[in-house]
Amino acid sequence: MRMDVDQDLCISCGACIDVCPEVFQWNDDEKAHSTVDEVPAEYEDQAREAAEGCPTNAIKEV
C-alpha cells in the first residue's frame, strides 16, 4: 500500500506525524508527506490510523 497526502488539503496539524512518524514527515512546504513508496507491512495499521485521524481527510490510501 501507498499513502498519498493531498497538499492542498493538509493544514499542517501534525497529527499524522504524531501517529505514524515512520511513514509521515514534514516536507519543505511544512506540509505532511509520505516518506516511503510502499508502507512497510508493520506500519500499515498505524498509517491507516493516521489517515482516519486526519481532520481534513487529506490522506488517501492508493
Nearer to ligand SF4 among residue 40 and residue 57 (C-beta): 57
39 contributes a contact to ligand SF4 by CB under 6 A: no
| 55: alpha, beta or left? (left if phi > 0; alpha if psi -120 to 50) | alpha
List the one residue from 20, 23, 39, 58 that touches ligand SF4 (CB under 6 A). 58
Among 13, 6, 33, 37, residue whose Cα is nearest residue 21: 33
Minimum CB distance to ligand SF4, residue 13 (Å): 4
H helices within the chain, ranges in order?
Answer: 15-19, 44-53
Per CB under 6 A, residues contacting ligand SF4 are 5, 10-16, 32, 54-56, 58-59
